[in-house]
Amino acid sequence: MRVFLVRHGESLGNLDERAYSQFGDHNVPLTQWGHRQAAEAGAVIAAYMSGLTGRGVQKLRVWYSPFLRTRQSKEALLEALPVERIGKVREDYLLREQDFGLFTEIYDHAERKQKFPDEFEKWARLRSNSGKFYARPPDGESRADVAQRMRLFLQTIMHEARHGHDNVVIVGHGVTNRAFEMSFLQHPVDWFERSDNPGNADITLIEGTREMGYTSTLLHQATDRQPGQNDLRQAYGAELTIRPEPEA
């Protein structure tokens, strides 16, 4: 079995956190740079698949999160893959980003504490006492919650694998992709706590067999924007900009 875990490319939210409140987390678009990153990831997968023979030439089944940045990344990736390599392409809401509840679209701790002091204090206490993996933001999901739905999604992947469909691409988010890897490889919670999210458009490859076991490797590390490199910062596919902060 072969699973390519691809995080979405750079989005406007990765450049400016205000994008999450302006567009809504689910509707933040890629940047033009992010689209280029996702297309490059597709080319890497195509090159990897071209070197396989026998069972490895089976078509890729592509799954993706319903959020805009993952849908756009999926489209860029598919454009770089030969048509004959592509099987079914499907969306699954289980692959969505972690839900932060009241803290959604507020990424600054100081702002969270200012707007929701009681809830923030309780969340901070949970993080301190139980660990970040189990602490659930108010009205949101803990990382443990995300891992549970990734285990549910994994059932679909393994069901299809038993019917011979075992080449899979998953276009998701940092936390969800990491939770999928944790569930697939049966890593302990400590692994999740010590690991970092993949970078934008990075590819983690999980490969192996049930008999021989599975391993994961970082197949591709995308080219990140370098300091001072300010080109291709616009939203991909639309003339969108981040609204300036209102004057006090």
Farthest CA pair distance, the chain: 65
Beta bridge partners of 7: 172
Q: Between helices 32-50 and 68-80, what is the axis angle to 10°?
A: 40
The rounded distance, in Å, linking the Cα atoms of 163 and 66 is 26
Which ranges constitute the DSSP H helices of the chain? 12-15, 18-23, 32-50, 68-80, 109-115, 117-130, 143-162, 174-185, 189-194
The residues assigned a catalytic role are: 8, 97
The rounded distance, in Å, linking the Cα atoms of 42 and 203 is 10
Picking from 109, 40, 38, 44, the residue whose alpha carbon sits closest to that of residue 68 is: 38
Q: Which helix (H) or strand (E) element contains residue 156?
A: helix 143-162
Q: How far is CA 136 from the centre of its chain?
A: 19
3-state helix, strand, coil in the chain (%, to 5): 45, 15, 35
Instruction: For residue 173, report the phi and psi dihedrals to the nearest 5 degrees.
Output: -120, 170
Instruction: For residue 204, report the phi and psi dihedrals to the nearest 5 degrees.
Output: -100, 125
The residue count for the chain? 248
